[in-house]
Structure 1
Amino acid sequence: MASTTSFGDSNFGLQAAVINGNVTAQFLQSESLNQACLRDLRTTNPHHDKDRIQNTNGGLLKESYCWILHNEEFQEWQNDQSNCLLWIRGDPGKGKTMLLCGIIEEFTRTIGHTSNIVFFFCQATDERINNATAVLRGLIYSLVLKQPSLLSHLQSHYDQAGKSLFEDINAWSALSKIFMEIVRDPILRSTYLIIDALDECTTDLSYLLELITQAPSAYPQLKWIVSSRNWPDIEERFDTTQAAPISLELNEASVSEAVSKFIQHKVNKLAKVKKYNDETRHTIYHYLSSNSQGTFLWVALVCQELDRTSRRHALERLMTFPPGLNALYGRMMDQVRNSEDAKICKRILAVMSTVYRPITFHELASLVELPDNLPDDFASVSDIIAICGSFLTVREDTIIFVHQSAKDFLLREARDWCLSGGIEAEHFRIFSRSLQAMFKILRRDIFQLKFPGFSIENIMPPLPESISSGRILMSLLEKDWSSCLQILEGHRGTIFSVAWSQDERRLASASYDNTVKIWDPTLGQCVSTLEGHSDSVNSIAWSQDGSRLASASNDNTVRIWDLDTFQCVSILEGHSNSVNSIAWLRNGSRLVSASSDKTVRIWDTATGHCATTFKAPTESHSSIQWSQDISRLGSASNDNAISIWDSVTGKWASALDKHSDLITSLAWSQDGSRLASASIDNTIKIWDPKTCQCDFTLEGHSDWVLWITWSEDGTRFASVSCDNTVRIWNPANGQCLLILEGHRELVISIAWSQDGSRLATGSNDHTIKIWDPTTGRCLSTLEGHISDICSIAWSQDGTRLVSVSSDKTVRIWDATTNQRASTLERHSAPVHFVSWLQDGSQVASVSFDRTIRIWDPTNSQCVSTLVGHSDRICSIAWSQDGSRLASASNDKTARIWDPTTGQCVSTLIGHRGMVRSIAWSQDGSRIASASNDKTARIWDPATGQCLSTLEGHSHLIDSIAWSQDGSRLASGSNDNTIKIWDPTNSQCVSTLMGHRDMVRSIAWSQDGSRIASASNDKTARIWDPATGQCLSTLEGHSHLIDSIAWSQDGSRLASGSNDNTIKIWDPTNSQCVSTLMGHRDMVRSIAWSQDGSRLASASNDKTARIWDPTTGQCASVAYIGSAGLIEFDKVNLNLIHTTSGTFNIEFSCPTMSIPHSFASSPRPYGYGLNDDHSWITYDGVNLLWLPVEYRPSRFSPSFALYATTFVIGCSSGRVIFLALPETSPLSGV
């Protein structure tokens, strides 16, 4: 029922106030963001620069520039729409800058109301405005001020990157693209872009020239005016375009007349101030006219000197000025050399010739040692600057060169006197003087902020007076950093691996320099260097008792070292390629090694003999799933076939029937009696694992079938397809029971609640939908994410749902109230997978930043960060007892990790393509991996041995799932099919077909009686895995369905779609119970709470939402950054686990309005690193800044956190560690 509001006498004021308040709040928030963007974009205000330049030159004289406005070449350029580039060229001092100032004045006066007049003044002596990026920032800044609506082109990029958009190494690339977006905007008015002194753009001038020469031809609404000296490289570039050049040398008559007007103006002004008689005035005028050589600057400098000369000495002084600019500079230099203050003038000129920007009086006083008899005040220093007046001038307490040619003269003609010790010596003097100034002034926490990482941007001015004199080199101060740092130096190459001994008393490091070093972390000393490898050392591993160390190398060998004698006691040879990973058995009797030769070897450490070698087959599997009882392993291969491995007999069985295209997903029913496979052939197949025969092929989806999932009781299963639907099927007869539609985009994730009463779907439309799988009705749509929802997961009791999104956040939702419970943030890239430990005590998250983070859900603290993969991590899985974590990667390997130490226990090598998915057997004795090489492999995690290879699919296998009892394995492939395998004989039992497009997600119901699938065909299907029949097709989404999930009791099914919504379906009648709306982008992942009272969704809108699936209301919203997997804690329903951490959320009743700000979202706990690895943080607060040379790489990080000790392997070859306080370093703050 639609709500109404009446504006009667009793409530009008209240209603109006509420509406006005909301509008005002949103406007102010938007205005604040706009202002922040403009503030960070601005390096200078070109209008202020223009005013400064005109004031420095004594004002703008119209008579000195008006000739250009009547110049034939200028008028032809202005009137010709096809001629967009005007180049004003001339030697130094010819008045180019003032000419452009005059053009800007005239254009602003005559056409400024209909056209944008945008300009920028380059200055080589100021690093703020002497580079191409600064020019572009200035132009964009001025354009946005002229037409504020153009800010939208900038704001979207700024919202993602912040200030770094304008400052990092990619700033030019990003800004040039934004600039082109602006000039392509049809709302852009006719625009004149004016750039002065291209020759003073000292950095990336070629980039700027390329932009200027390319833009006019494509965008005739732009007209450029640029000026520069007569430089050949600029001329060469402009010769390739239709640039209209105006040479001041070729317009000598006009320039001379303009200079004459300038001389007349300057002499009249002098005569008035100095009270010259007519004879003196005429003599000065004629001398200047005869010797100026058409150079404004020469005239200005001579007049400046005459202004300092008494009237009676004016003519005498006048005759000492030689004609020509360089000759005048030489004369002025002789004057400085012969003055009584020559020594101090020399120091000042040396500093000014060396620094990268203009400096203030305060800074000069710190950098130049002034004579004892010279007071350190403004007047005294001004007098000294006046002696250097032909070279320097002062504007607003800042010392600048009168012209770039003055600095050029000092560095070229007067270098031997000005910089007699060389420019390097002057840099050292500036450095030393800066340090001395800092030592006198600075102290720890000078602002008494208490927070070490407090941003300077948040410090309100004014700065303390004592600080300004030393600020030129304040960045050199690293005392806070160095006082708690131990540096382990000795390696000559990159550190590949760092490992603690079990007792934490020693640290080992492996390096590119072919050595292993043993360190005493307390003393920071190298105890021993282990030499013997002939190539880089990739991995090291301590034995359990700490008496031995194993090292794996690119020289194809493994070495075992005695750590009492530091001698190599054994060399293990046999691999034919580099050894990448090693792991000890707990008793130390065996060592496992994995190599790039596609073998895993088990070694007898006592004899050094190879006990067993496991070779990878010629074809590899892309997806595998253990059965619940570990008796069978199902795999999907890239040739579209399903195979099942029997762990008792060790034999493989392959199904005869195949999908016609790639298998995308596998899923076992809970009792293991059936296996479902999804494929991009738009079908799902149900397999009997005992006979490896396909019982049913479920057809109905119109696009790829991506995922399938069984309900807990096995009576239904759901399929997700690229047709944007989720279908619920009856596996007993292969009938489609329901089609769940409602998402506007692809459904990425799907999950049944534990009881099967609800199904959750997460979609690219940024929403999660909870469905009733009995009716097909969407019960609620969880909105809040601001990007794609990658994965969703229900808590065991169905009360909470976890969602993970591309917005780098993980969100926990109260499925009862639909409120966000918590947000976990720590990853520096989108999070795409999350996995709970069975008892809910820990959660692991996987990110595109190539790291795995293990979180403590009770306090949201990141317990460990696992680093080792050389490419993106695709999937992770916990062993049932939580003692091991497995990861699958694009680097074609899987790794077994010890989550307590963060060490890689074993590397499983053999796949020839990326490993897409992994799954542990229930007892943890076996692990299955699925790969792009169309094979699945079964491994012994204790030995690293490949026990079997499953082949059969004709395309990569994207998903794999065991039935609860382990009797069936389901594989989903890009061949559009799902295959169910009997792991005892490797036979394909059933192939599920029906979706019209690829299946994106599948989910077993808890009892294994049904499988739900989500597809690109915008439907979800419910299947009977026993018969392969589609029980129902759930239609309603307007875009592909990305995720699907059963409620725990199987009574509802939820689907998340790219249409930004989540639908909750009743699987018994295919009706959409509720549509959950609120996400502003696709829903990537959904999850039911254990009791089915809540549904969580993760979206690409960077939010996670908790929904009440009954009412469809959103109970909570959390900002999570990137969408990924999301789950409820199985014990404490107020805890939600995400890839960013674990968050404690107190669920509230459903509310009708969701706050726009997420500033109150929970933060991480304990020590960690910030996104760019430049700070060590505590509870999310910047604590300790790391200089660049002490940071781990962002792309292949080599660091470890053990308790409160940080170990960092640097690219320089150094290993450093920091012992951090066990108690909160922020206590009392």
Structure 2
Amino acid sequence: MADPHNRSCLKALRTTDPREHKERIEKSSGGLFLDSCSWILDNAEFKQWYSHPRSNLLWIKGNPGKGKTMLLCSIIDGMSSTAEPNNQDACTPSYFFCQASDLRTNNATAVLRGLIYMIVDRQPILVSHARNRYDRAGDQILTDSNSWETLSKIFSAIVQDRRLIDSYIIIDALDQCTTDRDLLIGLIARLSAATSKIKWLVSSRNMSDIEEDFTMVHKLEISLELNDRSISQAVGLYTWHKVGELAKAKGYSDELQNAVYRHICLNARSSFLWVALVCQDIANIPTQSCILSRLAGFPTELNALYACMLYQVCGLGVSKLCLQILAIVSVVYRPITTDELSSLVDMPDGALDEETLAQALEICSSFLTIHQRTIFFVHPSAKDFLIGKATNTVFAPGMEHIHYTIFSQSLQVLQKSLRRDIYGLNAPGFPIDQVKQPDPDPLAAARYPCVYWARHLIDSVKLVKQHGHLHDGVKVDVFLRTKFLYWLESLSLLGSLPEGALSISRLHHVLRQKANPQLADLVRDAHIFITHHMAPIQSSPLQVYASALVFNPANFLVKNLFSHEEPGWIVPKPRAGDKERMPGGVQTLKAISEQIDSMVFSPDGTLLASVSIDGAVQIWNLETGRCTQTLHVHPASVYSVTFRPNSSNLIISGREDDSIHVWDTSTNQMLQTLKGHGDAICAIVFSPNNNDLLASGSWDQTVRIWDLAASSCVQTLNGHDGDVCTIAFSPDGVRLASGSSDCTIKIWDPVNGLCLQTLHRYNVVSTAIIFTPDGTKLVSALNRDSVAIWDVATGQCLHTAFVGAPLRQLRFDMTGSCLHTDRGTISVDFVSSRAASLEPYMRGYWISADNRWIKENSEKLLWLPSDYRACTALIRISSMSLVALGSSSGRIAILRLLDSSDTIS
């Protein structure tokens, strides 16, 4: 998938990769034993579903332990292996395994995300259905309250797309889909009837509500209880396989192997799970003579077997720790790692060492299994037993107490481990997709606490309040006041910022009734902070200290609590006259009209002139932030404004009255009006060696030279066949260049009016032009987001380089080594190196082509929120760079930036 936007969309869809989930299930079950699953191939309903074009839905149902999941794994492998080498996608199914103990896999939205991810990953052309919505709203389409509706529309469009290769969709364990299962079944019913391009295979336990949801659905069914003979034979084969592995590993005699096999077969009751649990247990018996007596003590019913195994756990010296582990693993919102578990266990004497934890997990192996350091239940029925029939043993203090323990331990580990720039990224704009997890990972033990501490607080809010943790200056308040930004950074690194926002939202709802008002207000501000600044923090984690703080209103608690974390390269705005309660590092000016069309700084940088789209010109004092004058010069839009060199006089031209007006900004008086053009005047420039000499370019296809002292036109230059868009004097003032919509640039002698040279580039118009300091070359900004270099003498285009956005202003520095533009500064080294792109040659601060970032050199520095993205931009380079951003809302944002190299920590 070459398109980075497509890759970003696909990455956002992924919660887990179903292929990795399937691999983990098979490994934790000891591998896939195909002989125990082969019976399905001879089943009449399965064969009809597989081969008949109108049989689109098959439901396999059965009680726990009947091997449904492994059966579906074998079907998936069988279909994948029969695919033709040159048409692999035609038979390869897309699939999803539901798991109730994991928030990432226990809801209908997650199922659709997983299926869309697999289908699009296999057929990238179908990503367009997701991109249409993702490009408009980003990750929110996957997490907001309307995510099911959005994803179901995307999924429906994909499976009904004619480009979709005919395929299969397999969903295992619908009973484990605990949220919106009825919506999922309804969607399956509609789509299985609407299109024959997809065949559906789903499995579940025998549950009355699922049975009810499927009542009116046209489908085929396979009940494992009604196929007991086939299941019993399959369990027999599986038992022979498992006992054979045991005999080989433990050195059983043939007699013992046969005795174990017969006993298990007689008592298994067609349950693969019962066989697996028993074999796992007797594998740990060191003395072979005790094996048969141990087997005789096992109950034949599954829950009774679990009870027997729990009794054994309770009889050991570390039973208290084991029961706490079982309780924690039962209530967490996703499977946790051993590192995370060690941080959540409450040990009276302090930290839990690895050896003790490993010993306790081994004792719990009848209920828990470990895959790549992550802890899972051996089967969903094990968790069902612990939170159901065994709840008085495992949750003796109450389930709320376990949630409280997890909450309390979580805040403890977060308070100790979270810090600024925990992964050492250094650069404020370091992109999340380039972050590499350090080894060792400083967040290893804090990953689960980071995402879920607030959920467990809510689940135990009565106990939390009883312990006083919701008071000012106590646990929750202290954490938010000291670690909030570091927490958001870590959430971004973990890809879990939306989950953090959701948790804080729920926490605020709870605390409005149960906490002190001050804490509720802090949580409210925290939620607003996350939701308003989620995009930059998700994109670059360290933007939590840059964009999020800089553009957060000054009266917000988060802004005040973490003002010490603001970037050192942002100069605080002047306070005088600042009536708006806006960000402390951003000076915000609000024009009287909407959409800023153009802006210009005064020569000394103390004033800014802004032009609104309706023709209003406002003069702003940048020290006070006040509008000192508003000039309504024209009834329609003002086209061009510029300050007279070494003067406060403002030169204004308009679209409709074809005149140039000279205003004294200190007295608010119009000094002169120059008339003579026959159409709108769109370019004005002063001679570099005579402040009274002014040139203007017009839609009437002419350039006029004006003497301000005499208020007269001294020369008219004719020759263009289109609007004159831009003009520039040579450094010595003896040449004038004009760029036109006729795709030419003409070089003139402004004294005698002769055209000396015509530069032409097919179908490209110059939006701004300037001579190089030696006058031998001309730089033109092209309307196709590029810059061209011309030889003035020969008229040849020497080089063209891509800049990514239109440029409206060009100016060389005193040395001629840098070209200053309205979007930033470009090193002229790009000419000698004949660079194709100017981005590597941008120097200092500049605005990215998409208007999303202020960059420094090649590094992203400050994300611009959508309200601050420029319709027009302006950068003034001095010892302190001034960045002005004019928006479509009429807002002008002024940032004062120092060289960040000495201030970024």
* Normalised TM-score (structure 1): 0.47
Alignment of 1:439-454 (within 5 A): none
2:699 pairs with one of 1012, 1025, 1032: 1012
Q: Distance in 1 between matches of 2:165 and 2:347?
A: 54
Query: 1:105 — aligned with what?
Result: 77
SS at match of 1:1155: coil
Q: Distance in 1 between matches of 2:897 and 2:601?
A: 33
One-letter amino acid of the counterpart of residue 121, structure 1: F
CA 1:244–1:1147: 2 relative to 1, 3 Å:
same
CA 1:1158–1:991: 2 relative to 1, 3 Å:
closer
One-letter amino acid of the counterpart of residue 309, structure 2: M
One-letter amino acid of the counterpart of residue 24, structure 2: R
SS at match of 1:258: helix
Q: Is the 8 A contact 1:886 1:894 kept in 2?
A: no
Alignment of 1:680-691 (within 5 A): none
Higher strand proportion: 1
One-letter amino acid of the counterpart of residue 875, structure 1: D
CA 1:77–1:887: 2 relative to 1, 3 Å:
farther
Query: 2:281 — aligned with what?
Result: 305
Counterpart check, 1:365 vs 2:339:
no
Cα deviation, residue 884, structure 1:
5.2
Cα deviation, residue 102, structure 1:
0.8
Query: 2:825 — aligned with what?
Result: 1143
Alignment of 1:890-901 (within 5 A): 898=620, 900-901=622-623
1:194 pairs with one of 150, 167, 170: 170
Alignment of 1:718-867 (within 5 A): 865-866=587-588
One-letter amino acid of the counterpart of residue 366, structure 1: S
One-letter amino acid of the counterpart of residue 769, structure 2: W
SS at match of 2:99: coil
Q: CA-to-partner distance for each residue in 1:1071-1097, whole Å, 9 max, x for gaps?
A: 9952258xxxxx898222268953544
Counterpart check, 1:1075 vs 2:761:
yes
Q: Distance in 2 between matches of 1:450 and 1:523?
A: 17
CA 1:112–1:1087: 2 relative to 1, 3 Å:
same
Q: Distance in 1 between matches of 2:721 and 2:186?
A: 55
Query: 1:964 — aligned with what?
Result: 660
1:224 pairs with one of 189, 200, 203: 200
Q: Is the 8 A contact 1:326 1:409 kept in 2?
A: yes
Cα deviation, residue 307, structure 1:
2.9
One-letter amino acid of the counterpart of residue 1113, structure 1: C
Cα deviation, residue 392, structure 1:
0.6
CA 1:152–1:899: 2 relative to 1, 3 Å:
farther
One-letter amino acid of the counterpart of residue 900, structure 1: L
Q: Distance in 1 between matches of 2:626 and 2:395?
A: 57
SS at match of 2:842: coil
Query: 2:836 — aligned with what?
Result: 1155
Query: 1:601 — aligned with what?
Result: none
Q: Distance in 2 between matches of 1:1012 and 1:1047?
A: 16
CA 1:1090–1:429: 2 relative to 1, 3 Å:
same
Q: Is the 8 A contact 2:575 2:624 kept in 1?
A: no
Cα deviation, residue 71, structure 1:
2.1
2:741 pairs with one of 1048, 1055, 1058: 1055
Q: Distance in 2 between matches of 1:187 and 1:490?
A: 52
Q: Distance in 2 between matches of 1:894 and 1:427?
A: 61
Cα deviation, residue 1118, structure 1:
5.0
Query: 1:1089 — aligned with what?
Result: 770
Q: Distance in 1 between matches of 2:432 and 2:554?
A: 39
SS at match of 2:839: coil
SS at match of 1:964: strand
Query: 1:76 — aligned with what?
Result: 48
Query: 2:494 — aligned with what?
Result: none
Query: 2:406 — aligned with what?
Result: 430
1:325 pairs with one of 288, 302, 308: 302
One-letter amino acid of the counterpart of residue 1012, structure 1: W
Q: Is the 8 A contact 1:1063 1:1073 kept in 2?
A: yes
Counterpart check, 1:64 vs 2:40:
no
Q: Which runs of 5+ in 1 are unaligned?
A: 1-28, 497-508, 514-518, 525-540, 552-580, 583-849, 852-861, 931-958, 968-982, 993-1000, 1014-1020, 1036-1040, 1057-1061, 1078-1082, 1185-1190, 1198-1202, 1205-1219
2:366 pairs with one of 390, 407, 410: 390
Query: 1:1105 — aligned with what?
Result: 787
Q: Distance in 2 between matches of 1:193 and 1:409?
A: 31
2:312 pairs with one of 324, 335, 343: 335
Q: Is the 8 A contact 2:659 2:681 kept in 1?
A: no
Cα deviation, residue 227, structure 1:
2.9
One-letter amino acid of the counterpart of residue 426, structure 1: I
RMSD value over aligned CA atoms? 6.5
CA 1:38–1:925: 2 relative to 1, 3 Å:
closer
Q: Distance in 1 between matches of 2:768 and 2:228?
A: 79
One-letter amino acid of the counterpart of residue 336, structure 1: V
Q: Distance in 2 between matches of 1:204 and 1:417?
A: 31
* Normalised TM-score (structure 2): 0.62
Query: 1:261 — aligned with what?
Result: 237
One-letter amino acid of the counterpart of residue 761, structure 2: T
Q: Distance in 1 between matches of 2:602 and 2:770?
A: 20
Q: Distance in 1 between matches of 2:624 and 2:218?
A: 63
Q: Is the 8 A contact 1:877 1:918 kept in 2?
A: no
Cα deviation, residue 385, structure 1:
1.9
Q: Which runs of 5+ in 2 are unaligned?
A: 452-478, 488-517, 530-552, 566-573, 664-669, 686-693, 705-712, 730-734, 749-753, 870-878, 881-895
Cα deviation, residue 110, structure 1:
1.8
One-letter amino acid of the counterpart of residue 963, structure 1: S
Cα deviation, residue 350, structure 1:
2.1
One-letter amino acid of the counterpart of residue 104, structure 1: I
Q: CA-to-partner distance for each residue in 1:748-797, whole Å, 9 max, x for gaps?
A: xxxxxxxxxxxxxxxxxxxxxxxxxxxxxxxxxxxxxxxxxxxxxxxxxx
Cα deviation, residue 367, structure 1:
3.0
Deviation larger for 1105-1114 or 323-332: 1105-1114
Q: Is the 8 A contact 1:153 1:178 kept in 2?
A: no
Q: How many residues align?
A: 733
Q: CA-to-partner distance for each residue in 1:155-205, whole Å, 9 max, x for gaps?
A: 999998999699876998998888778767777544333333344455676
Cα deviation, residue 97, structure 1:
1.0
Q: Is the 8 A contact 1:1108 1:1114 kept in 2?
A: yes
Counterpart check, 1:353 vs 2:330:
yes
Q: Is the 8 A contact 1:120 1:195 kept in 2?
A: yes
Query: 1:1117 — aligned with what?
Result: 801
Q: CA-to-partner distance for each residue in 1:1099-1126, whole Å, 9 max, x for gaps?
A: 67xx442343865637353544x55745
Alignment of 1:941-1090 (within 5 A): 963-965=659-661, 1003=682, 1011-1012=698-699, 1044-1045=725-726, 1052-1055=738-741, 1074-1075=760-761, 1086-1089=767-770
CA 1:65–1:412: 2 relative to 1, 3 Å:
same
Q: CA-to-partner distance for each residue in 1:1043-1088, whole Å, 9 max, x for gaps?
A: 95466688754339xxxxx66589999x9952258xxxxx898222
CA 1:490–1:55: 2 relative to 1, 3 Å:
closer
Q: Is the 8 A contact 2:851 2:864 kept in 1?
A: no
Cα deviation, residue 907, structure 1:
12
Cα deviation, residue 1004, structure 1:
6.4
SS at match of 1:1094: strand
Q: Is the 8 A contact 1:190 1:221 kept in 2?
A: yes
Q: CA-to-partner distance for each residue in 1:17-73, whole Å, 9 max, x for gaps?
A: xxxxxxxxxxxx969999999888765554443333222223222232222222222
Q: Is the 8 A contact 1:1117 1:1154 kept in 2?
A: yes
Percent sequence identity over aligned pairs: 32
Q: Is the 8 A contact 2:653 2:660 kept in 1?
A: no
Q: Distance in 2 between matches of 1:85 and 1:376?
A: 51
One-letter amino acid of the counterpart of residue 376, structure 2: I
CA 1:435–1:1065: 2 relative to 1, 3 Å:
same
One-letter amino acid of the counterpart of residue 108, structure 1: S
Q: Distance in 2 between matches of 1:921 and 1:1181?
A: 32
Cα deviation, residue 98, structure 1:
0.5
One-letter amino acid of the counterpart of residue 49, structure 1: H
2:61 pairs with one of 70, 89, 92: 89
Cα deviation, residue 95, structure 1:
1.8
Q: Distance in 2 between matches of 1:489 and 1:376?
A: 36
Alignment of 1:921-936 (within 5 A): none
Higher relative contact order (CA 8 A, sep 6+): 1
One-letter amino acid of the counterpart of residue 873, structure 1: Q
Q: Distance in 1 between matches of 2:808 and 2:62?
A: 63
Q: Is the 8 A contact 2:782 2:788 kept in 1?
A: no
Alignment of 1:521-532 (within 5 A): none
SS at match of 2:35: helix
